[in-house]
Each structure stands twice: as C-alpha cells, then as structure tokens.
Amino acid sequence: MGTALGHNVRTALRRAAGRARLAPSIHNTQPWHLDLADDYLDLRLDPERRLAHVDPDGRQATISCGCALLNARVSLAGEDSADVEVTRFPEGVTSPLLARLRFIPLDREDLFARESRRALADLDFAIAVRRTNRTRFTESCVPERFIDSLAAAAAVEGTILFSVRRPEHREAVARLTQRADAEQYSDPGYRAELRAWTTDDPHRVDGVQTRSVPQVDTYSRDEVPLRDFDMRGNAGLPARTDSSRDQTMLLLGTDSDTPLDWLRAGEALERVLLTAALGGWETSPVMQALEVPATREELRSELGVRFHPQFLVRIGRGSPVPPTSRRSLEDFLDER
C-alpha cells in the first residue's frame, strides 16, 4: 500500500497524527496515544490522563479522543489517491484501542464518498485556528441558518445537535449549571484536580494556562457559570464574561450512552467546532451540568429530549485568544 498515494503513506499518517494533537480535550489533558505503522494509525485512550473526579467513567476523555480522531480523518480526507477506512473499537468497547485508520483502494465511481471526503478535507484549515475561547461573547445573534448547518454537521456523524432556544429551557440550563458547579466546587478532590491541571508555567505543554481563563471575584456571577479555573487568583482574562442564559447554547446528544457513542460524539463535536471556526464564531464548553449524574438526567428531562446529553457548548463572537499548549508528537506517538 506504500505506493498507493502520491507521497508516502507513512508521511500522510504522520501528518494526521500531527493534526490530531490539536484537538480540544477536557482540561487540556490530551488523553490520547497513537501508534503508527506502515499503513495504519491506531488511536488509544491513555488511562493515566483520565480525570478521576470530574470524569470517573472516562466519558469526556473518550469524547476528547473522538475530537482527535475527527482531526485525523480531516487530514487524511485530503488524499486523492486512496480512501481511509475507520474501524472503531476493533478489539471491543472494553479495550483502550478506540480506532484504527487504514488506507484502502479508492473507489472512483462512488460520487457520495468523494463528496464526503471533500467536505471533511475543507475543514483542515480550521484545525489550526479553532480555539477554546472563555472571553466575554458579544450580543451578536448566531443566525438560525448557521445553527442549522452546525446541526447538519453533527447529523453526518450520527448525533443530534439541539439548540437551547425556549425561555424555560434556557432557565433550566442556567439553574442546573449553577447547582452542578457549586456541588463540584464543594468537593476537595475536584478542586485538587483543577489545581493539578491549571498552570501559569508558560513552558508546560498540557493543562489549562491561567492566561486563558477568567478571573473569579464578587463581580463574576454569571447566570451560566464557566468553570472556575482561577485556582491561584492569577487568571489572565477579565472577571466579567456575561455568560447569560440568553447566549446561544448548543447541546450535542446521542441515541444511546455507550463508549462508542462517546467516541462518535467527540467526532461530531469537533466537526461542529471546526465548522463554527470556519464561520468566524468562537466556542467554549459549559459542561458542569453534564458532569454531575443527577443534573445531567434532570437536564434531559427538563429539555424534554430523548437523547443522552454529551456536550454543551456556547457560541458567539469573542476576543482573540492564543493557541493552547500541546505536547509534541514524540510525547504520544509510537512509530513501528
């Protein structure tokens, strides 16, 4: 298979690994490990980078790896001499091996597959410009037509994107996020985990940099609170984010709630985030209500949805933020 592409297969797979490393992840833990062989790339979950308090079942770590998988797929979709076969959980859902990407011969008669590859490849530019943006978003309303395009992007990956529009739904999101946020912050283990994954060391290549999080003080009482990463009182962003119930919030969900669903949710999430970035929109997670089992179930009930909530994101116009630190390829890529 090494001569199937215009350039070396291994080079294309290595580039895909490089694009995977730019994916968003919970607390910037980057919980993935990649194995590169002559004609395939394996994506594994690194158990040492799972968060015991905020993510005890590994759901968000798996979603994070799904984001990395989508980036790799986007990178490989640009190859016009071969197609890419993605096998999810090739060794079963209890295995840390989440996915295998392998080149296969290209079927030039399959117009739908060609269009699907082109749509993926068009997202490649956005991988490098997408940011998790915790700044104050302006009052700009996200057009319904654009939200529809984001929902279509999620649907391609087999998931549902629900726009939180009705006043009672917005109120439920605000109330449950506040409750979950307070419950989490009252747990000493949760706070210790936040401290471990928040850093003001500019040379650290993982974790959340304090320069990219809002200050927390008596004036930062948002209706839909962003996570309090200001553990040392030296956050770099202003306290007021005005994260209100009236901002545009999108809830990503899946029909069932298995590790495979979490992985596919991550792929869908990254496709949505990249599509938003291409449109010039900023995004950031609002996940507290989905991390506490009771509020996650209540949110599902109060919104009247049958799907399982996997990710809540706010979208709007915000000030530019610097890129997030990332580990080098050598830190998580094994080559055979």
Residues ≥6 apart with Cβ < 8 Å to 256: 308
3-class SS of residue 334: strand
> What's the mean pLDDT when you consider all of the chain?
91
| Closest to 128 (Cα-Cα) out of 19, 284, 276 | 19
**The pLDDT of residue 142 is above 70:** yes
- CATH code (residue 61): 3.40.109.10
Q: Do residues 188 and 299 share a domain?
A: yes
Q: pLDDT confidence of 242, banded at 50, 70, 90? A: confident
Cβ(61)–Cβ(31) under 8 Å?
A: yes
> 196: helix, coil or strand?
helix
- Asked, for residue 248, whether it belongs to a domain, the answer is yes
Q: How far, in Å, CA of 315 to CA of 307, rounded?
A: 21
| Stretch among 4-8, 62-66, 196-200, 231-235 having the lowest mean pLDDT | 4-8
Q: In sequence order, what DSSP letters do the residues of 270-315 get, joined into one string?
A: HHHHHHHHHTT-EEEE--HHHHSHHHHHHHHHHHT--SEEEEEEEE
At 214, the pLDDT band (50, 70, 90 cuts) reads low
111/167 same-domain check: no
Q: What is the mean pLDDT of residues 59-83?
A: 93
Residues 204 and 309 both lie in one domain: yes
Q: What is the pLDDT of residue 6?
A: 43
Q: Note whether 126 and 192 are same-domain residues.
A: no
At 251, is the pLDDT very low, low, confident or very high (cuts 50, 70, 90)? very high
What pTM, to 2 d.p., does this model score? 0.94
pLDDT band at 82 (very low <50, low <70, confident <90, very high): confident
Say which range, 79-88, 190-199, 208-217, 219-228, has the weakest mean pLDDT.
208-217
**Whether residue 178 is found in the same domain as residue 111:** no
Query: Considering Cα of 185, then 188, then 191, then 197, what sign does the dihedral take?
Result: negative
Structural contact between residues 284 and 313, judged by C-beta atoms closer than 8 angstroms: yes
172 and 257 fall within a common domain: yes
Q: Using 50, 70 and 90 to split pLDDT, how confident is the model at 215?
A: low
Q: Which of 252, 265, 240, 248 is nearest to 314 (CA)?
A: 248
Q: Which amino acid is at 80?
A: D
76 and 169 fall within a common domain? no
The total number of structural domains in the chain stands at 2
Residues 124 and 207 in one domain: no
Map tokens 């210790």 to a residue: 192
Alpha carbon 257 to its chain centroid, in Å, reads: 17
Are 99 and 148 found together in one domain? no
> At residue 3, does pLDDT exceed 50?
no
Final residue belonging to a domain, choices 86, 102, 131: 131
Q: How many residues does the chain have?
A: 336
**264's tokens:** 């596919």
Measured at the alpha carbon of residue 195, what is the angle toward residues 178 and 132, in degrees to the nearest 5?
Answer: 65
Q: What is the pLDDT of residues 321-334, one digit of tens each?
A: 999 999 999 999 99
- Separation CA 235–CA 214 (nearest Å): 6
Q: What are 11-20's pLDDT values in tens digits?
A: 999 999 999 9
DSSP string, 235-265: -SB-S-----TTSEEEEEEESS-SHHHHHHH
Q: In which domain, by residue range, is 257 found?
A: 144-316
If asked whether residues 149 and 281 sit together in one domain, one would say yes
Evaluate if residue 159 carries a pLDDT over 60: yes
Confidence grade of residue 83 (pLDDT, cut at 50, 70, 90):
confident
Least confident of 157-166, 216-225, 308-317: 216-225
In this model, does residue 336 exceed pLDDT 90? no
pLDDT of residue 290: 98
